[in-house]
Structure 1
């Protein structure tokens, strides 16, 4: 890693720490530079403002979402099993400590600042969701009835996240439920609605 890349990463890590501890409005650029062990001038060379620094952090979160494994539809394998594997991977990715902490940091600021929220969700909308391609391909192949794949994926993931992500995100502890059973039940409801009828 080049020195400039290392300094940029150190600044981002320091900003994440400062924003977590102080919140975005109270976070101080001086403190971020101190934590990163760089001068303020160096910090501003990489990020022209605290807002630009925060936007870089939201980009990291979006990159982590984009890195979620995306499975392709296999017409030779049972669709239900493919969807279970995709949902399991997605929830495993979301519940990682690093992702969860970064998500809390970003979401708390997006609730405060609607302009930032609109910019973030506009960027997020340009990405394929983690299960969207699988659902789209299953619809193309006739394994699911035709609908808007993004909407269908959002419906499925909203059900699953309600039980397996939001309790941990909001309360800091996993819900006392059987994750595999929750995923299976949500998928059965999804397939009852979108599955091709014989």
Structure 2
């Protein structure tokens, strides 16, 4: 890793720490530079403002989802099992400690700043998540009735997140439910609605 890349990484990690501890409005650029062990001038060379630094952190969050392996529909395997495995992996990623902490940090600021929220969700909408990709291919193969894959994936994931992601995100504790049973039930409900009639 080049020195400039390392400094940028150190600045981002320091900013994440400072934003978590102080919140975005109270976070101080001087403190971020101190934590990153760089001069304030070096920090501004990489990020011209605190807002751009925060935007770079939101990009990290989006990049983590984009980096998840793309899933492909396999006609030789039961669709139900493919969906269950895909949703299980996705939920595991969302509830991982690093992602969850970063997500809390970003979402707390998005609640405060609607312009930033609109920009963030516009970027997020452009991503083709692994579940929507799998659903889209299943629709093309005729295993699911035709619909907008992103919308269908959103319906499935909203059900699952209600039980397995939001309790942990908001309260810091997993809901007292069997995650495998929840995922299987949600996939079954999804399939009742979207299963191809053919």
Task: Report the counterpart of residue 92 of structure 1 in structure 2.
Answer: 92
Asked if the contact 1:11–1:33 (Cα under 8 Å) also holds between the matched residues in 2, the reply is yes
User: Equivalents in 2 of 1:138, 1:86: separation in Å?
Assistant: 13
TM-score (norm 1): 0.98
Structure 1 residue 196, shift from structure 2 partner: 1.6
CA deviation profile, 1:59-104 (whole Å, cap 9, x unmatched): 0000001122321000111000000110011001101100000000
Structure 1 residue 130, shift from structure 2 partner: 2.4
Q: Where in structure 1 do 4 or more consecutive aligned residues deviate above 6 Å?
A: none
CA RMSD of aligned residues (A): 0.7
User: Equivalents in 2 of 1:154, 1:68: separation in Å?
Assistant: 17
User: Equivalents in 1 of 2:4, 2:52: separation in Å?
Assistant: 17
Structure 1 residue 24, shift from structure 2 partner: 0.2
Q: How does 1:40-59 map to 2 (within 5 A)?
A: 40-59=40-59
DSSP-derived class of the 1:196 partner: coil
TM-score (norm 2): 0.98
Q: How does 1:75-114 map to 2 (within 5 A)?
A: 75-114=75-114
Asked if the contact 1:164–1:174 (Cα under 8 Å) also holds between the matched residues in 2, the reply is yes
Query: 1:134 and 2:134 equivalent?
Result: yes
Q: How does 1:154-173 map to 2 (within 5 A)?
A: 154-173=154-173
Q: How many residues align?
A: 198
User: Equivalents in 1 of 2:149, 2:141: separation in Å?
Assistant: 13
User: Equivalents in 1 of 2:146, 2:15: separation in Å?
Assistant: 44
User: Equivalents in 2 of 1:151, 1:11: separation in Å?
Assistant: 37
Task: Report the counterpart of residue 194 of structure 2 in structure 1.
Answer: 194
User: 5+ unaligned residues in a row in structure 1: which ranges?
Assistant: none
User: Equivalents in 2 of 1:92, 1:11: separation in Å?
Assistant: 28
User: Equivalents in 2 of 1:166, 1:120: separation in Å?
Assistant: 19
Asked if the contact 1:70–1:133 (Cα under 8 Å) also holds between the matched residues in 2, the reply is yes
Structure 1 residue 53, shift from structure 2 partner: 0.1
CA deviation profile, 1:98-119 (whole Å, cap 9, x unmatched): 0000000000000000110011
